[in-house]
Amino acid sequence: MRADIPKVVKVYGDFGIIKRPSKLSEEEKEKILQRLFQKDAELFTLDPDVKKKIQERLDWVEGYKYIEPKLKELKTLAEEIRREYQFVLWCGMGGSGLFPLVISQIFTPAEGFPELKVLDTNDPFHIQEAERLPLEKTLFVIVSKSGTTLETLSHFKYFWEKVKANNSEPGKQFIALTDPGSPLEGLALERGFRKIVHHPPYVGGRYAALTEIGFLASALMGLDLAKALHYAKEMYSACEPGIPWNYNLATTLAEFITESYILGQDKLTFIVDPLLKPFALWLEQLIAESLGKNYAGLIPVVGESPGASTVYSSDRCFIYLTLRGRERLYHRLISDLKEGGFRIKQIVLEDRYEVFGEAYRFMLATALTGYFIGVNPFDEPDVVLSKTKTRELLEKFKKEGDFGLELYVDSDTGLGFYYEKTLSVEYPKLSALFKKFFSDFAPWIYVGFLAYLSYDPEIEDIIRDIRTFVREKKNCATLFGYGPRYLHSTGQLFKGGPPLARFIIFTRRGRIDSQIIPEEGYTFWDQQFAQAYGDFRALVEREKPVLLIHLFNDPKEDLRLVFELIKKALTF
């Protein structure tokens, strides 16, 4: 065994080695922060190949400095757009779409500026919704760092044909935001796009909030870019080396998260002011994709209904995020949690524009936490598994017109379902499967509800009620994500993070034959279903208990049937 140790160190560097910040000297901690600001990739690994990849993702550390000289150009472009368009349809997934989604939902456009709508789904309902926009008054921003994102290129192909039907120069209605030299840039040049905006090549997607990802979207809405930049600058100054560790806003956050993790509190639970809810989705992606891998890591819990301290188990810690003047919204809950002995970090924003500063603080804290808990915060090694299986299914569908999947139909409810074979029961009925699914819970497990459905507050309410009931009965954390959005967010965590997890995937009947994606020969629904089933197979391969439930009728009514079955499974 001793002879193998140098090989392990050579390949993996320090990955897997946990370093407790509270045990380090002030000099040691300051040196760690200095090395991060110097973009020293050797802070994370000794392996030359991995070190090179990390080195190529560290320019975000410069914070506001990258975007500041580009603001004038972005404002000029936004002024041109406002004179011609009423809507901007921002097509991007994961890191290319979530911070623009934050901006579009937390802020309203300045007078005379277009409304920003973010399309980060292939759900047929939302494709229809986008088609109802006055296309001649809509600018399309096609965003993909790699230039190869499946959903985003499908959006482009589909809407290009729609625009071309009424515009002899359709390219004037399109802007590309992508890495230099990417396939999307080549496509944009070929089709005569109005503008090609370069994504900074040495910034990973989920660390790109303070690049054109955040500031182009803000400019197009006419937001106060100087104010946004001010808060980003303020946070940079409060986090840079030289600020004592215990007063540094990023290092204290990183230490809180790391120490919680070491204490077994790996369910980082966000209690968020409703006005800041979209920002929690961005934080969820940043943390899950950065810190959930190597069968370890942090599990961000977003969107659970807040409960009394007695409903939470000892694997929880909390971040309370609110706006000044609204702290009393959850005052009693926070006091109850503190009295219950839970660790809580409270963050109060003076202004909504402070999300630009908080984005930087959390990026730094996440990277530092990755260093302390021994994971590489800049890769996403398990995301490719679902992509590969989706691609295989779509190729099969194009050749055979079928996915080769035969669903069971539950005789009691009429719901369709498919299940992972370790959940096997003598008679395949949903009632029996739910009993099996919710049995034999190990400590610190979490349950993920993954919905390939349209974004709908009523659907979220039903699933939130299910989550609350499961938490009450099993004393476990619950997560929720819309597909395919979560594939670009928490999907890395689900496949590569802590193994104590199980999942229920929801799909629905919903093919619209007119929504065939040009050059592909399948519809958006076919693509969405392939992603759901592909992720099901990926989770099975990673030995995670998983159910796929297909909703044949009204999704809301069918979800209520599911809720009744879960109630029975957990009550009797």
Tens digit of each residue's pLDDT (9 = 90 or more) over 255-296: 999 999 999 999 999 999 999 999 999 999 999 999 999 999
Fold for the domain defined by 63-223: Rossmann fold (3.40.50)
Q: Running DSSP on this structure, what letter comes out for residue 110? A: P
Spatial CA neighbour of 510 closest among 125, 119, 128: 125
Q: Identify the residue with better confidence: 313 or 5.
A: 313
Q: Are 284 and 367 in contact (CB under 8 A)?
A: no
The yes-or-no answer to whether 63-223 and 383-571 have a common fold is: yes
On the question of pLDDT at 395 being above 90, the answer is: yes
What is the gyration radius of the CA atoms in the chain, in angstroms? Answer: 23
On the question of pLDDT at 7 being above 60, the answer is: no
Domain 2-55+230-373, CATH homologous superfamily name and number: Glucose-6-phosphate isomerase like protein; domain 1 (3.40.50.10490)
| Torsion sign across C-alpha atoms 291, 144, 453, 431 | negative
Say what the pLDDT of residue 5 is.
28
Say what the pLDDT of residue 12 is.
35
pLDDT digits (tens, 9 = 90+) for 88-104: 999 999 999 999 999 99
Across the chain, mean pLDDT equals 94
Written as one string, the DSSP assignment of 259-290 is: HHHHTT--EEEEEE-GGGHHHHHHHHHHHHHH
Provide mean pLDDT across the span 123-135. Answer: 98
pLDDT digits (tens, 9 = 90+) for 8-47: 222 334 567 889 999 999 999 999 999 999 999 999 999 9
On the question of pLDDT at 2 being above 50, the answer is: no
Please give the structure tokens belonging to residue 260.
Answer: 């919680």
Please give the structure tokens belonging to residue 96.
Answer: 């290319």
87, burial (CB in 10 Å: exposed 0-12, middle 13-18, buried 19+): middle
- Residue whose pair of structure tokens reads 């496949």 in the numeric block: 495
pTM of the model: 0.95
pLDDT above 90 covers a percentage of the chain that reads 92
Say what the pLDDT of residue 442 is.
82
Say what the pLDDT of residue 16 is.
72
Backbone angles phi, psi at 504, to 5 degrees: -125, 120
Provide mean pLDDT across the span 414-441. Answer: 84
**For the chain, domain boundaries:** 2-55+230-373, 63-223, 383-571
Tell me, letter by letter, the H, E, C secondary structure of 414-463.
Answer: CCEEEECHHHCCCCCCHHHHHHHHCCCCCCCCEEEEEECCCCCHHHHHHH
pLDDT digits (tens, 9 = 90+) for 515-535: 999 999 999 999 999 999 999
Q: Identify the residue with better confidence: 4 or 423.
A: 423
Say what the pLDDT of residue 17 is.
84
The set of residues, in sequence order, having a beta carbon less than 8 Å from that of 559 and lying 6+ positions away, is 459, 462, 463, 466, 506, 551
Q: Does domain 383-571 fall into CATH 3.40.50.10490?
A: yes
Under the banding of pLDDT at 50, 70 and 90, the label for residue 422 is low
**What is the Cα 414 distance to its own chain's centre?**
32
Under the banding of pLDDT at 50, 70 and 90, the label for residue 124 is very high
Say what the pLDDT of residue 420 is.
79
The set of residues, in sequence order, having a beta carbon less than 8 Å from that of 405 and lying 6+ positions away, is 418, 533
